[in-house]
Amino acid sequence: MPTPKLSGTEVEPNISHPQWAHEALGDLVISKDALRERVEELGELITTEYRGRPPLLVGVLKGASFFMSDLARVIKLPIEMDFMAVASYGSATRSSGVVRIVKDLDVDLTERHVVVVEDIVDSGLTLAYLQRYLQARKPASVEVCALLVKQGQQRAPLELKYVGFTIPAQFVVGYGLDVDEKYRNLNGIWCLKNKADQ
């Protein structure tokens, strides 16, 4: 199934900014309806491909929390869930490349099928580190399900089995994505005004 690619100019008509965030937001990048539809498609794929071997979903906090919650509800398998927290951004808009594990997993990964659930992949440095870290714990497999991938920004070789959307290299917020812990609770994904992707 092809990954949807968005130009950043595909703004849906008659959708205005939420009033409380109006001053901060630019164009709508992905609507709540498009998010819901794509998450359902990803859930169907995972259900089909992991039938008979239910995976452990590993959510990367905090950004992937909304995505993982919705994804888990549409996977028709007895999955398990756990979370990790890694730090690499601070208040910057681009990963520093220096990764620190803030919260580790509570479960043993030995011989488990693991699906890492990420909100967004830009440089890929954090995710590459995380994949190596998890592989060292002897799982049966490790795959990645990323909601968003920024086009042309990857600085590390990555194999992403499931991708929600490929977007232009712009800073976005909503549906779990934040800037300085704000705007995670937007129900769509929006560009942020006056925030360069740097």
Kindly list the catalytic residues: 122
In whole angstroms, how far apart are CA 60 and each of 24, 69, 100, 146, 177? Answer: 25, 12, 13, 10, 12
Radius of gyration of the chain, Cα coordinates, nearest whole angstrom: 16
CA distance 57 to 68: 8
DSSP 105-136: -SS--TT-EEEEEEEEESS-HHHHHHHHHHHT
CA distance 157 to 124: 8
| Runs of H (alpha helix) within 4-106 | 32-49, 65-74
Cβ atoms of 42 and 95 within 8 Å: the answer is: no
Residue written as token pair 């099928």 = 113
